[in-house]
Structure 1
Amino acid sequence: MQQIARSVALAFNNLPRPHRVMLGSLTVLTLAVAVWRPYVYHPSSAPIIKTIELEKSEIRSLLPEASEPIDQAAQEDEAIPQDELDDKTESDAGTHEYVVSTGDTLSSVLNQYGIDMGNISQLAAADKDLRNLKIGQQLSWTLTADGDLQSLTWEMSRRETRTYERTANGFKMTSEMQKGDWVNSVMKGTVGASFVSSARDAGLTSAEISSVIKAMQWQMDFRKLKKGDEFSVLMSREMLEGKREQSQLLGVRLRSEGKDYYAIRAEDGKFYDRSGTGLAKGFMRFPTAKQFRVSSNFNPRRLNPVTGRVAPHRGVDFAMPQGTPVLAVGDGEVVMAKRSGAAGYYVAVRHGRTYTTRYMHLRKLLVKPGQKVKRGDRIALSGNTGRSTGPHLHYEVWINQQAVNPLTAKLPRTEGLTGKDRSDYLAQVKEVVPQLSLD
Structure 2
Amino acid sequence: MSLIKKNKLKLALMWVLLTSVLLVIVALLPVGDKVDSKAAIKAVPKVATALTYEAELPLYDANTQGETVTESTVASIAKELAKSYPKTINYVIQKGDTLGGIFETLGLSQTSLYQILEVDLNVLALDSIKPGQTLIFTEFEGLLTRLELQISLAHQVVYTSSGDNGFEFEQVTLEGEWREHSYIGKVEYSFAGSAKKAGLSLYEAQFIASLLKDKINFSRDLRIGDTFKVLVSRQYIGEERTGENRIEAVSINNRSRNISAYLYEGTYYDEAGLSIERAFVRRPVSSKYRISSSFNPRRLHPVTGLLRPHNGTDFATPIGTPVLATGDGVVSRVINHKYAGLYIEISNGQTYSTRFLHLSKALVKKGQRVKRGQKIALSGNTGRTTGAHLHYELHLRGRAVNAMTADIPIATAIDKKKQAAFKLALSNYHAAWDELKS
TM-score w.r.t. structure 1 length?
Answer: 0.47
Structure number, greater radius of gyration: 1
